[in-house]
Structure 1
Amino acid sequence: MRLLDSYLELGITGMARAAGAGWFDGHYGAALLAGYFMDREHDLPEHVKEGIERTCESFRKQKPEWFVPLDQDEQADPSLLQHVIDGLQQNVKQLRTSGHGLALGVLALKALRERPDMITPTVVNGLVKILKATTEDRLDRYWGIENYHGMTIDDVKDEVAPYHTTAEMAERAFDELHLVIPPRDINGVRYHLASEVVHNITHAHALTDLERFGYEDIVKPGIVNHRLQIYLNRHVPPFTLEDEVKEPAFEQIFSPLYWERLYSDPHALKLPYAALDLLKRFPPEKRAHAERNLCKLLTITD
């Protein structure tokens, strides 16, 4: 068994344990899950597998206590999974944290569907804590908007054309990659900019998986939130345009130039996993261009 095969259990464990530190720390376990499922769902070249393992092992070394095996005597109860689903439903009542509740929660849901023996009170309580925390966010997350919490789709209906299917959503998410500007601190405030565009992709992927699992009641309002997210992400300070990433360092997600590096950002695994899945839905004549634009985000990933 290679390291990749262990990342399903370790990813669930890491997410559950990290919940006490804050919802963002759930990214590290989620990155292991992304690596695991990327390997399971795609025919990965060996250098990609090695790159995933290199970065995942680095995450484990940073916080080894998060990945210590859980109590093996704790009884699993598959009915507890409903609490995770309830947390996902709460996250689509409004757009918060750029769709992180779904991006993290659906990876965990997917893993637990495969490992029902890990649906224990400890795991579920940790995941529910993350999902609750992702419904809270700072009001001024987006440049030029004082309070995005008060916005609804009615405020942006003339700015972003409607879409109603996950296939349309995937194409719209990739359409937004025409402009990639690295994150920046402005007057002491951090604006995520390109990182928000990353979340366009991971949010869309989470909704696509939920559709596969049959949760249409979550997907429908989620697509509406994704449309609002696209509008908000377009708010970019004009003076940052000088930083635009116009050309990627490589044009394919499997490029050795990407996978030979060691990353500190968990999105380094979560983004390519989400993108590879969504790109499968693109017609061949559109895929190469979409993948090339995605590589602009990968080029500036730390």
Structure 2
Amino acid sequence: MTPANAAPGASSFDPGLILLAFAPVFLLTIGAEAWYWRKRDPSVYSFKDTVSNACLALMHQASDAFFLWLMIKTVYSWTYSHGLRTVPETWWSFVLLLLLQDFLYYFFHRASHRVRWMWASHVTHHSSEGMNFSTAFRQSLTYPISGMWLFWIPLAWIGFTPDWVILAVGLNLAFQFFVHTRLGALDSRYAGFWRWLGQYVNTPSVHRVHHAKNPQYIDRNYAGVLTIWDRMFGSFVPEEDAPVFGITRQVHTHNPITLTFHEWRDMRADVFRDRDIRYLWKPPEWRSPRAAVTAEAMPLT
């Protein structure tokens, strides 16, 4: 923590490094899961997909670190110093922060599926046709551009220190690593337990639904930690049919650059082709009324 936004006696640990601090646990978990599936179902871990996920994770972490240093912490610090009040740093206030951040995460995640500008970043995470712990690493370096960090500004304005806000976000994401797995998928022995737990907390079963492209599963289960938000806002669906992972317009490549920028490229092409800037904030499946006119005007080849 820095003197500008830290309480007296606060830890010197940089919360921006929280996910890196968890890296050994993440890597050991991936290794154990890969070993488990090696003889049971080798297709769960594709070598190319796993390498691609690792490359995307490194790119994402570098981008996050750069933008945190460049501007994000400065914005949070300014907001904190001009906010409502200073929230005391106690255990109960940190629990409150985790709850509020998880609430805001729900809306960030939902917007990331329903606003194309944000989907252009988030689609990278959903583009894998596999599901294992390494899929959690599959992130985009463009999240700072699409505006993920904007969703946490209210927390600083309320009075939580910027470092606490960043720490809460990191812990939420660290928790979500462990819901990216097929372990226990549709296992009748534990189905009742997972269904009960999923009513309250994000679980592998709940999150497999979120990653599926089955029509009944698309744009469901946005929970970070608590699924009560999905239930409150009508987006919860339990896992029943076996999920088919991926996106409806599948990108068949393991190239991290293509996986990062393909939707930005397509969005730009749609805006210029139909001369309609609404593509930036409309849902990913939306098409401009001008699209049909544009198609009719195109010469047949």
TM-score (norm 2): 0.29
TM-score (norm 1): 0.29
Which has the larger share of helix? 1
User: Which is greater in Rg?
Assistant: 2
